[in-house]
Structure 1
Amino acid sequence: MSKKTLVLGASLKPNRYSNFVIKKLVNQGFEVVAFGLKEGEVVGVNIDVVLKQYKKIDTITLYLNSKRQKDYYDYIISLNPKRVIFNPGTENPEFYSILKENNIYFEEACSLVLLSTDQY
């Protein structure tokens, strides 16, 4: 698949939406990388605890609230993704402006819904 996705705010907890989305992305054949606070693995995807300069990221799907996102603005911009998805609870107008300035598309959406409806 061409849409390599970074799940930012990934969780090892099976009841978290970020965990669900990793499983769904892998199940649908997407290449997935993940960053979270606790190192581990979800369906074969390693959750990194050190920021890496991933190559060819198509989509970053956010699972961090707006306050926590501030620490990652520069990092996200440096990856130059084609789009950033702000899942419910991650909305951030301040970051929208920064993304616009850097010509990075963004949307407020639920990655799980997009995947379930073939709109991802």
Structure 2
Amino acid sequence: MAEFQNPTDPEIKSLLENTKTIALVGASPKPDRPSNRVMKFLLDQGFHVIPVNPGQAGSTIHGQTVVAQLSDIQTPVDMVDIFRNSNDAAGVVDDAIAIGAKSVWMQLGVINPDAFAKARQKGLIAVMDRCPAIELPRLS
């Protein structure tokens, strides 16, 4: 298993300050789901958030149209925020690399050191087992 070390607090702060568009993979329309609450928080912070969920494609979550997969997004993506299980994170990282995302962020409990290492190897900033909705207030 690959070793991983998350970026430092100043690096995470810089990442968040330089991120405008976030693709949120695993977005849920259910208000009780963490992905739904985090998406709302990120929208309220001024980020452009694109929900990604094949089962919800074409519908809207918090007023944003859901796409089925990352390759359906027609605009550059700064960050791919991953709300999927740890095993699924590897495929999402591959898709993030394929669309030219600048960073991948694996949510709390999403732990895949090999996917983390691959993202870093391909030049992406990678964060694992953290939540931007926690880090933004903590670092600002």
TM > 0.5 between the two?
yes
Q: Corresponding residue for 1:10?
A: 27
CA RMSD after TM alignment: 2.0
TM-score by length of 2: 0.74
Q: For 1:116 and 1:20, how far apart are their aligned partners in 2?
A: 15
Letter in 2 for 1:70: A
1:9: Cα distance to partner?
A: 1.0
Equivalent position to 1:55, from 75, 87, 104: 75
Q: Corresponding residue for 1:111?
A: 132
Q: After TM superposition, what 4+ stretches of structure 1 lie above 4 angstroms from structure 2? A: none
Provide the aligned length of Structure 1 versus Structure 2: 119
Q: Say which one has the larger Rg.
A: 2
1:118–1:45 Cα change, 3 Å: farther
Q: For 2:69 and 2:99, how far apart are their aligned partners in 1?
A: 14
Q: Would the aligned equivalents of 1:55 and 1:79 in 2 still touch at CA under 8 Å?
A: no
Q: Corresponding residue for 1:101?
A: 121
Letter in 2 for 1:36: N
Q: Corresponding residue for 1:28?
A: 45
Letter in 2 for 1:44: G
SS at match of 1:19: helix
Greater strand proportion: 1
SS at match of 2:94: helix
SS at match of 1:38: helix
- State yes or no: 1:19 paired with 2:36: yes
Greater helix proportion: 2
1:53–1:27 Cα change, 3 Å: closer
Taking only the aligned residue pairs, the percentage that are identical comes to: 25
